Amino acid sequence: MGQLIWLASYPKSGNTWMRAFLHNLFRNPPRPARINELDQFCLGESKPQWYLPYTGGRPTQEMSLAEIMALRPRVQQDMTRAFPDSVFVKTHNFLGESHGHPLVNF
């Protein structure tokens, strides 16, 4: 189990290019990563599949923001187990709280 390394940015500010650069730098693959392969290296913290184990199958679209925020600490803990080492996680959130829960955990 590793730590989360947050890759935080404004939307449409080059996050995908940064993820591709980091993938190629750290993994040194025989060919450059394709854009659709980047999720194998850098996780997306807003992806609904991370929340489903805690929703009883209820889609996140049907949940309130407060309900989703309450799940974030568990979801982020699960992300630390996604790879044996530390993992990059993409976010557009700021270092703060929402509904009494941190948006970004360390």
pLDDT digits (tens, 9 = 90+) for 46-96: 899 999 999 998 999 999 999 999 999 999 999 999 988 999 999 999 999
Identity of residue 28: N
Q: Number of folded domains in the chain?
A: 1
Average predicted confidence (pLDDT) for the chain: 92
- Global confidence as pTM: 0.85
**pLDDT at residue 106, as a whole number:** 72
Domain that holds residue 57: 4-102
**pLDDT at residue 20, as a whole number:** 94
d(CA 19, CA 25): 10
